[in-house]
Amino acid sequence: MVDTKIPTIPELAWGSRIYFIGIGGISMSGLAEIAQSLGYEVSGSDRQASERTLYLQQHGMPVFAGHKAEQLLDTKPDLVVHTAAIPAENPELAAARAAQIPTVDRAAFLGWINRRFNQVINIAGTHGKTTTTAMCSLILIEAGEDPTVHLGAELQDFQTTVRLGDPHKLMVSEACEYQNSFLKFYSTVAAILNIDYDHVDCFADLTEVIEVFTTFADLLPDDGHLVVPAFDPHVRSMLKLLSERRAQHQRPMPTLHAFGLEGDAATWQARNLEFIDGLPQFDVYYLDTFYTHLELNIPGRHNVANALAAIACAHLCGGTPEAAATALNRFQGAEGRFTRTGVYRGAQVIADYAHHPAAARATLAAAATIPHRHTWVVFQPLTFSRTEILFDEFVSALKDCEWVIFAEIFSDRETRRDYISSRQLAERINELGGNAQFGRDFAEIKAELDKRVGPGDLILVLGPEDIRRLADQLTGREHH
């Protein structure tokens, strides 16, 4: 059984001081903004200055570059929030603990924020969390519900990673399973979009992943709502486990809302699906009754599923058919999720966070529906452990590409492992008759693209933020 004990956070009076160690992180910077909007005095530090720390400073939050005990102690915080990556010997964290200032990790603080709201939608799953959370939020905004939103990426509509809404009414957040983070959250509505084996540095196998998602779903109150795909076999295994666990404790199952395509036994269904210039158009049916018609601006069958999940979650908290159609038909995607960064040598450049074999397959399938000449793929694996353990799945997902060039593995949370390299992925794909290369750096990758790319082509830059900077460099795009 997974431990779901939530650290105690003291009740903080309005105006209390909160210090964030690692405030420049994508989730932490958003939480800092939300905390400030709830009436707390916020400050913090990060390893180095960045666009995000500058943004927070411009919004009145003192932010230090580097970690020093005295700068934390000088702010006299009532609470210290730190990322999971901050080691115990960090001088600021050590000073806070020595001074007996309460300290909590990012996930526990997000869970504490959840509990300030009457309704909370948490959207989980191995893939699609950011896109679905963004879609759901935009539907609710269009419907006039004024949600507070916490995202794992920037959204053009927000100009940041969060939206500050009514401080007590409704919160929408993505919920990540990494290090069991989402077990510290509170939901009235939860979505599980899909389940795959990922975060191999946390989970030994798929069974463990299914177990932790079961525990997440079990945290829903008895009158809670669970939104799930009708077509995912691993989610079916999770529901069976959940049902057994609830029966054992004489608790009813949460109300289930399944989404799926035509032929799936689902509450929410996409019917009459067709792709026009690579973009999906379809009718949404709710309980076999027409709900709305959608013409998405983002490609792929996976985004049809994401849209259905978003509509289902929003519908439970005030979303309407009209709001769904208006919001989703103009949605351009969250940053780094099939982001069209511009044109290079006449080719369209698309950046996507497809860091898992299943996500890479979905992105390649989506790209295949777009009219184009040739597809050139740049891929950077994220973390050594994921590359090592899912090696064969990465090869399988990428071996049929017309051409793929690999950047070296990126990891900001693991020590370098000399025995695993992206070069091995390229070599294995070539052994199987594919067409792959290894690029030592951005300059070499760009030089290889220059030999091949022409008008009407597609360049897909797949992987973490590190490699997605290449897509911006190619097109001269800047985003904030």
275 in Cβ contact with 371 (< 8 Å): no
Q: Within 10 A of 281 (CB to CB), how many other CB atoms are there?
A: 16
In whole angstroms, give the CA distance from residue 159 to residue 270: 31
CATH number of 117-330: 3.40.1190.10
For residue 225, give the H/E element and its range: strand 225-229
Is 50 exceeded by the pLDDT of residue 91? yes
How many residues are recorded in the chain?
Answer: 480
Please report, for the chain, the start and end positions of each structural domain, with discontinuous segments joined by +. Answer: 17-106, 117-330, 339-475
pLDDT of residue 445: 97
Residue in the block written with tokens 């500050």: 164
pLDDT of residue 336: 83
pLDDT tens profile 187-214: 999 999 999 998 888 899 999 999 999 9
pTM: 0.86
CATH number of 339-475: 3.90.190.20
Model confidence at 412, pLDDT cuts 50, 70, 90, reads confident
Model confidence at 480, pLDDT cuts 50, 70, 90, reads very low
Superfamily of the domain at 17-106: NAD(P)-binding Rossmann-like Domain (3.40.50.720)
pLDDT tens profile 323-371: 999 999 999 988 888 899 999 999 999 999 999 999 999 999 999 999 9
CA distances for 414 relative to 34, 417, 434, angstroms: 30, 8, 30
Q: Which of 185, 176, 173, 162 is nearest to 209 (CA)?
A: 176
Percentage of the chain modeled with pLDDT above 70: 98
Is 90 exceeded by the pLDDT of residue 7? no
197 in Cβ contact with 174 (< 8 Å): no
DSSP string across 188-199: SEEEE-------
Coil vs helix vs strand at 148 = strand
Q: Within 10 A of 231 (CB to CB), how many other CB atoms are there?
A: 17
